[in-house]
Amino acid sequence: MNTYEITKEDYELIEAAKNTIVELYEDNRHHIGAALRTNSGKIVTAVHIEAYVGRITVCGEAIAVGRAVSEGEKGFHTIAAVRHPYSDEVDREIRVVSPCGMCRELISDYSPDCFVILEIDGELKKTKIQELIPLKYTRKTADMPLA
């Protein structure tokens, strides 16, 4: 996996995600906060929406992408998500988390050159979304003849 330098702006993005989840955290409702920096420099934040029926739950990254698109933003520079511990967890640290597979697809669909901030083995890393979703499904690959 190719990695890139974590910048001051990246740390600001992580802080924006942390501030959003700290402000809006509710047990069994919201425990993921996301922050997205658009190509225009705007930061869009969101929390995930938990549902008792799991498949209805919507990730914070997806909501941030939806907010950005709804506000007229066309491209994304970097995205970060953080996880707030549940109230019964002993470890109270808010940590950076990796986007799920569906969010990886969504981010890649809307901005294939977007950077993603991850925590790997306790260390912050930054990579391109394409690194997290090799052999991505596209209309082009769907139309390819089977061997």
Q: Which of 15, 26, 61, 73 is catalytic?
A: 61
H helices within 8-126, ranges in order?
Answer: 8-24, 60-70, 101-110
**Rounded-to-integer distance, Cα 131 and Cα 147, Å:** 26
Q: Is 123 labeled as catalytic in the residue annotation?
A: no
51, 57 in Cβ contact below 8 A? yes
Residue 12, CB half-sphere, CA atoms under 13 Å: how many?
9
Please report which helix (H) or strand (E) contains residue 83, including its range.
strand 76-83
Q: Please tell me whether residue 24 adopts helix, strand or coil conformation.
A: helix
Show which residues are catalytic: 61
